[in-house]
Amino acid sequence: MNEADTPPQISHNSLEPHRGTLILVLGILSLVMCGFFTGIPAWIMGRNDLRKIKDGLMDPEGEATTKGGMICGIICCVISLLSIIGIALLIFIGIVTGVGLLMASTLSFFIVGVIAMIIVGFSETGRWSLGQAMMMEHAGEEYRARVISLLMMTWGLMPLSMLPMGWAFGYFGAEITTFVTAIITLLFAITSIYWAKSLSKL
């Protein structure tokens, strides 16, 4: 075979050095503690570097670690995004519940009361389902049984709230009591926006 027919050999020394270790570290950190801050860079850097490796522009020895880091970054971003969406839904549901109670307390029409109670019923069902799912997601595996036990205990103790609520209904009237409950619910839901970032890091 002539030298002209021999395909050129590309030396690894002439290739751009891979960043597989760095990307893998960023990906692992995103899952452990840093979230989006290192997850997004791991995803973007991993995708770009894998393209360079495929095109023969970067050292292929780092392909495995680059893929691993990128996958960790993708997983972290998806989980973090779902957590943010879940928290946003909880806040929205709280606002919807407050608006429903506000409608029931201020508008003296039967059909409005029916619509308001339907809104409250749907929103509360969503809040309980989503809230339980998020608590199980963020609770450590060894604490999940305790967390669900405490949650069920609060559910079981809920009828006790009828004592002060019954007294308030009798003393202040149903409309005022429901109105105050609506305002408290709305305030809690709206102020939750300010500490939602802390919840997303749990």
Cα separation values, 106 from 51, 183, 190, Å: 61, 12, 20
**pLDDT surpasses 90 at 71:** yes
What per-residue confidence (pLDDT) applies to 7? 46
Average pLDDT rounded to a whole number, residues 89-110? 79
| Contact assessment for residue 89 and residue 79, using Cβ atoms and an 8 Å cutoff | no
The two three-digit tokens of residue 38, written as one number = 């290192």
Cα 71 from Cα 36, distance rounded (Å): 13
- Three-class DSSP category at 16: strand
> How confident is residue 197, by pLDDT bands cut at 50, 70 and 90?
low
**pTM score, two decimals?**
0.54
- Three-class DSSP category at 109: coil
